[in-house]
Amino acid sequence: MINPVPLDVLAALDELGIEYSTMGEEAKALCPSPEHDDTTPSWSINLDSGMHHCFSCGYGGSFRRLVADVREDGGGSWSDALLWIQQRKVKDIAEGKVGRKAKPKKYAEITAADLWEFDEEYPIEELEFRGFDGDVAHGFNLLWDQKRDGWIIPFHNADDRLIGYQFKPRHGTDGTPLNHPPHLKKSGRIFDNLGIIDGDLLIIVESPLDVVRLYAMGYDNVVALFGASMDAEQAERIIANFSKVILFFDDDEAGRKGVSRALKLLKGTDVHVFAYAHPLRMGQYYVHTEVSGKDPGDLTKEEVAEGISRATPGFRTGFL
């Protein structure tokens, strides 16, 4: 194989010191060509084929080309690049068919060893902004990525096995949350583990850090879906464990769509919807509160308590 591609292209980019953001089948980054002093991310790489291209300067080619050009640890020759890739797990792509979209992608499994590079030195300002302290963060197994400056939020499947983690940039910085591995199936991924929550009532939020924040406010029955879109398997696990649910999604378009979707999936369960102020949208169906923020992270303890106490039965929300 003359043009091998690492099985886990993103992990290889990490090793090469390339900071990227992912979008579908691609990752974007500042152009890694030593010749190009890129200021906006002009370069993208296909995560399947490893082929890459800079729209600004035209640099690009195979993954091997990239390795040969950007390796910082010395041996940046063309033949060493081949060795470097072969020392990692390599994708099974037949020669000459690179770039063809054929097989479902496989990514290296995440293990506890993948978390060793992170620590628990959470920045004070970040803890203050999030509304919980280091002990609580530690209790939820949160870690901090000093290099990329953001949270590492491990997630486990229904059997409590580590299956991946999310990187979430520090508040106020650009960038979007990134999942590792990137195409991890959403199903069954819930933060925190449903099995340890006592009682009948479950509160569901979008973001895992809001679970931690609400815990610090005294709510120990909160889980996060990693986004607003519930899937059928998550719904199944929720229905199996709880008789009453409060949906406390963000007060934006994605959040409202997510509520509609969840209400359909949780049919037959006693579902309430967190009471944000929505006099216009909800008309007579909605209880108007003085809640001012647009997601759990914006609200004070009193506002959270009020919104929860006034949560509206799903069948009356107008979301259905």
DSSP 196: G
Encoded one letter per residue, x for contact with Zn ion by CB under 5 A and - for no contact, window 2-31 reads -----------------------------x
Q: Using alpha carbons, list the distances in angstroms from residue 255 to 58, 120, 132, 276.
A: 40, 31, 24, 12
Residue 60: left (phi > 0), alpha (psi -120 to 50), or beta? left
Among 28, 36, 244, 310, binds Zn ion (CB under 5 A): 36
Cis amide leading into 41 (omega within 30): no
From 10-18, 46-54, 152-160, 306-314, give the range in contact with Zn ion by CB under 5 A: 46-54
Which CB, 52 or 278, lies closer to Zn ion? 52
- Considering only the stretches 58-66, 92-100, 217-225, 310-318, report the one whose residues sit in contact with Zn ion under the rule CB under 5 A: 58-66
Pick the stretch among 49-57, 86-94, 102-110, 150-158 that binds Zn ion (CB under 5 A): 49-57
- Beta bridge partner(s), residue 178: 167
Q: Does 57 bind Zn ion (CB under 5 A)?
A: yes
Q: Quote the least distance from Cβ 198 to Zn ion, whole Å.
A: 55
Residue type, 279: P
**Which residue type is seen at 83?**
L
57 vs 239, beta carbon nearer Zn ion: 57
63, 51 Cβ separation under 8 angstroms: yes
CA distances from 251 to 228, 274, 299 (A): 11, 10, 11
Q: Which stretch binds Zn ion (CB under 5 A): 13-21, 53-61, 263-271, 283-291?
A: 53-61
Query: Which spans in 115-252 are helix H?
Result: 124-130, 134-139, 208-216, 232-241
What is residue 140's DSSP assignment?
T
Q: How many residues bind Zn ion (CB under 5 A)?
A: 7
* Position among 9, 45, 54, 282 found at the interface with Zn ion (CB under 5 A): 54
- Contact between residue 308 and residue 248 where contact means Cβ atoms under 8 Å apart: yes
- Supply 113's token pair: 């060893």
Nearer to Zn ion, 51 or 228 (CB): 51
Residue 34 CB, nearest distance to Zn ion (Å)?
10
The only residue of 50, 52, 59, 167 in contact with Zn ion, by rule CB under 5 A = 59
Please report, as ranges, the residues that interact with Zn ion according to CB under 5 A. Answer: 31, 33, 36, 54, 56-57, 59
